[in-house]
Structure 1
């Protein structure tokens, strides 16, 4: 089910029940086009995610942690100026459309009460967040996306403009008393096919996404009581049972555990919890792609370049296999110089390396016999030197390919906050240029590396997990005690994991191995080998790339990675 008008209706009810009458305590913008407005209500903080993300636009109470940028945006500062300390009076919806309005009561510069609206238009790539002053003729104060007349002739969204609602559609609000059930009943009879009926309903009833209309069509075809079925269906949006429907390949969120073939349902206490679960991975990857676009591009380009180089080196190495032939021909020519006459283009001589069988040797008619022999010795020496050079280049190129494959794997699993370390690493390694004078003046200064994620076992043992190469190096080579236990997936790109215990039991080692397997490229594998050893047996070769270490004396544990296991472990914050 998409975040359509009907789902918006359900979310408005949930927000009113939880945060209406609450006071705004914090306003942050952790990601592009997404705000977190924290409202204090009934002695509890509710972080309201207000998103105009083109792919995941929505409004919900979200408990997913986030990291704020160092410098707030202009839009953030505008919201703080007008809404900090204000009271969220109510949340409303325009008809059954995907437009949600947060109504705030605040005070102006002289202390008089005034009302402000934060309008959230949930419309895919046209989604927007707009601050409106209701007591100044609906004047737009600012918007997270400013829209000029060159982009939209119907309405502009710029500071100082009058706010105009999106164009109304000629459709019926299913929650309105004006609904004509006779028309709905005739549609059900006219279109027995559920998909065809769903398409017709989408054209006539406001706020129906594709999945919602299909579930509605399914409900209406249950029996002949169209009116009751219709009423029952939309009652789910007033009294939702938040449900996640999943099969092996896809998932969708709904307000009710509808029957869907081959799908299993999981229920949640609130719509916010449901959306957190549904969007956690999808939104994280999208944010990483947005913020780490340059890093991904650099890594992919370098990977492509090195794979191309690898092919050329292998071809060159193949050609050097003829080096011994050049030496043999040179020695044979030297032995039989007296038989060679200047001006010959080839000669056939006995090969004393092959039982005297004749070998045909090409000659240059422009040089002397001895010069022809020396020419073959030079070609032999050149090929011999090339073997040493090419093997060294092959080693370096394989290391580069492995490095960038590891980087792409880290980016895929990264949180947006982890990208700064990877960016710093790329700059240090020379893969990213410093684009301005300020960064040039500071490029030799050591950047602060973010902290690894900490987990705690039931017994209070601390386990640290590095999320990128700089974290891994610092964690293993600088911060860890030599008596701690180090873990890493065997021959698979992944995180360095440290058990902060000198003598961990088998259960603790297995817990850490589960973390090492989950935070690796083998996250989705059934069985993953994880090596573990004391930190004193881990070494970093001279000149090695960030994150690369070698180790010995290891033992191996086989585990099956589990997201549920890691999520449960994250909730255990009781440090020893």
Structure 2
């Protein structure tokens, strides 16, 4: 989506749309996504930037009222400033939006850490992501790649093409190489072909989204892959490709949740069915236990030595062959006979229960297999939502949608304290994952001096601490999920996540705090709060 040639056309279209407009505000409605609201004449619209490394994108979209709760505002000092320029760096994926004050927003649309910087006199004065680390540092400068005149004859076709033009969209080159048999070309022919391919990008664009989900500027003459969508403008196709990628990610996440549950239920049902199919053995055991009881009762008048573990007698069911019967009770022979009669009764009851349950469990196993097959074939989020509604009763029966299942499907427990989300680790490995995923401004808590779960209060990039009542309630959760659960009150330490570090080579869940505060709180079960 953010190939340099795509940005050439996006830059032109965005410039036409927003230049002479006025910056209103910028918010982050979702993680790694920034919405910049621009007003021009009587129209307000959004410039959307995704800093997700897998879905990096920049495009303008129609106005949509912003979320009013739980959002963080960015670059407030730009409010009301007029946009004077929009510019793409020479041969690099950097776009700047200039303002009348001389400052500009610099969009970095490459690497594993895309970002937006507020820049003044080549120094970063603010940033969308990691502002504390970046403020005061030098702004990124364009770095043009090395264009070679000659092709290395021993390199692969893809490498030869990117030597001539390193700005080509590399994700699409394998398809182009296969279609045009570039591997069979001589180095000189590869050079000529690459130059013609570049000319098509610059002077004959055909914006489209391929069936693969990729954005493309080549016509089918150059890349013969069917289109999911054809557009008159690059911006429209970039927006479509981005939204489609987000849609597929959300679909995958939702599908994985239900498929993981159904796979687990399928395995449990199969194991149970195999156990129930062994019910005949319960009947055989019942016959054996009853036989032991009869044989022992036939000798009930006899006595056994104290502490005897077994009794050898003649088996009148088997031509008086000797049989050794374990004695399970310390009492006399009659008491042991009664023990085996009870065992026989229980074994027969188990057999009857198995016969009664087996058809039901087999039907449910078949139902789970059918649901799994249907779920795997769903390829649209809205179809999945409809499917979940249509099968809500069956899925609920198998545990989908229950609080317990939601907690199982997540690497950590999640709860709400007012508007704040609270994460609670499940085990040592989960504690590590939770602490690694937390933002540096989040609040980290743990019961002091005892083993227990890591707890994190999500702060949404806010630098302040949450209200004291929120900290106390989350601290109660930390006490409950620790070995201090049985105490009336327990000490719980808390600090910002940026003061929590994991020593190299330390065991799972082990951390060191650079500073901390402590509160005495009663353990609180969040499920009952």
Report if TM-score (shorter chain) is over 0.5.
yes
Unaligned 5+ segments in structure 1 are: 106-113, 149-155, 173-182, 352-356, 443-576
Kindly tell me: are residues 34 and 302 of structure 1, through their superposed partners in 2, closer, same or farther at Cα, counting changes over 3 Å?
same
Of residues 198, 202, 216 in structure 2, which corresponds to 1:233?
198
In the other structure, the counterpart of 2:287 is: 328
Q: What's the secondary structure of 1:129's corresponding residue? A: strand
Q: Matched residue pairs, number?
A: 386
Indicate conservation of the 8 Å contact 1:323/1:379, yes or no: no
Q: Partners in 2 of 1:304 and 1:212 — Cα distance? A: 35
TM-score with structure 1 setting the length: 0.52
Indicate conservation of the 8 Å contact 2:311/2:327, yes or no: yes
Pairwise CA distance, 1:12: 1.0
Corresponding residue number in structure 2 for 1:87: 82
1:89 Cα deviation from its structure 2 partner: 2.6
TM-score when normalising by structure 2: 0.56
Matches within 5 A, 1:175-574: 184=149, 186-187=150-151, 191=153, 196-203=156-163, 205-211=165-171, 230=195, 233-234=198-199, 236-237=201-202, 240-246=205-211, 250-259=212-221, 263-265=225-227, 266-286=229-249, 309-310=268-269, 313-314=272-273, 316-318=275-277, 320-332=279-291, 337-338=297-298, 344-345=311-312, 348-350=315-317, 363-364=325-326, 370-386=334-350, 413=381, 426-427=402-403, 431=407, 435=415, 438=418
Structure 1 residues 39 and 64 mapped into 2: Cα distance closer, same or farther (>3 Å)? closer
Alpha-carbon spacing, 1:282–1:311, altered in 2? closer, same or farther (3 Å): same
Does residue 116 of structure 2 align to residue 139 of structure 1? no
Kindly tell me: are residues 243 and 398 of structure 1, through their superposed partners in 2, closer, same or farther at Cα, counting changes over 3 Å?
Answer: same
For residues 201 and 272 of structure 1, the distance between their equivalents in structure 2, rounded to whole angstroms, comes to: 27
Taking the aligned partners of 1:281 and 1:347, their CA distance within structure 2 comes to: 79
Deviation readout 1:356-383 (Å, 9 max, x if unpaired): x999976226776644543332223333
SS in 1 for 2:112: helix
Residue 53 of structure 2 is matched in structure 1 by: 54
Q: Tell me, in whole angstroms, the C-alpha distance in 2 between the residues paired with 1:157 and 1:39.
A: 25
2: CA distance, partners of 1:328 / 1:231: 87
State the 1:438 CA deviation.
4.5
Contact 1:4 1:207 in 2 (8 A): yes
Tell me, in whole angstroms, the C-alpha distance in 2 between the residues paired with 1:72 and 1:58.
20
User: 2: CA distance between counterparts of 1:78 and 1:316?
Assistant: 60
SS in 2 for 1:259: coil
- Residue 124 (structure 1) shift: 3.7
Matching residue of 1:98? 93
Q: 1:267: how far off?
A: 2.2
Cα deviation, 1:218-272, whole Å, max 9, x if unaligned, reads 69989989789837833633553212333xxx34321121436762245212212
CA contact (8 A) 2:273 2:361 kept: no
CA distance in structure 2 between the aligned counterparts of 1:53 and 1:333, rounded to whole angstroms: 71
RMSD over aligned CA atoms reads 5.4
Cα distance change of structure 1 residues 425 and 267 upon mapping to structure 2, 3 Å threshold: closer
- Relative to structure 2, which stretch is displaced further, 322-331 or 272-281? 322-331
| Among candidates 116, 119, 122, match of residue 129 of structure 1 | 116
Structure 1 pair 429–264 and aligned structure 2 pair: CA distance change class (3 A):
closer
